[in-house]
């Protein structure tokens, strides 16, 4: 699992599609119809996937943290909050995973991009993320 996968696993509950389980589409395809008893078929009920409130999860973690972290704008603090390696080398690896095309030697610009892009990717993977965190 890559660094972004580790971020996702710390925020999303086990068993969600973002955790590498079957996607909602695969689940609905596999169980798209069920017999109704009269020979006809009806849509089969599937497991409900609740949208994860990323901000609430992170706020809860921050309230329990031993140090005050600026996770809302700092990728370093976000990674620390999640108990992940926030070193420059780890952030460069995350940048590679997320296809950062800028100069990784400009860590300030890379960090800003990483925070915004991580939040955007969390939203794309089923997270409820306020626009203010996406940037």
pLDDT tens-digit series, residues 61-112: 999 999 999 999 999 999 999 999 999 999 999 999 999 999 999 999 999 9
CA–CA distances in Å: residue 49 to residues 1, 31, 85: 22, 15, 30
| Exposed / middle / buried, residue 55 (Cβ in 10 Å: 0-12, 13-18, 19+) | middle
Give residue 135's pLDDT.
Answer: 79
112 Cβ contact list (under 8 Å, min separation 6)? 135
**pLDDT confidence band for 1 (50 / 70 / 90):** confident
Nearest of 72, 30, 61, 54 to residue 126 by alpha carbon: 54
- The span from the CA of 135 to the CA of 110, in Å, is 14
- The span from the CA of 135 to the CA of 127, in Å, is 15
CA–CA distances in Å: residue 85 to residues 52, 92, 116: 23, 11, 18
- What is the helix, strand, coil percentage profile of the chain, to 5? 50, 5, 45
């Amino acid at each position: 699992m890559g660094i972004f996968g580790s971020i996702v696993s710390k925020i999303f509950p086990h068993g969600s599609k973002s955790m590498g389980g079957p996607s909602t589409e695969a689940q609905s395809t596999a169980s798209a119809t069920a017999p109704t008893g009269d020979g006809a078929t009806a849509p089969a009920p599937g497991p409900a996937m609740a949208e994860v409130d990323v901000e609430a999860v992170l706020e809860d973690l921050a309230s329990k943290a031993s140090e005050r972290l600026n996770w809302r704008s700092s990728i370093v603090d976000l990674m620390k909050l999640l108990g992940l390696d926030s070193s420059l080398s780890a952030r460069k690896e995350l940048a590679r995973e997320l296809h950062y095309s800028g100069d990784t030697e400009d860590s300030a610009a890379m960090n800003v991009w990483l925070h915004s892009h991580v939040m955007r990717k969390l939203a794309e993977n089923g997270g409820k993320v306020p626009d203010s965190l996406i940037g």
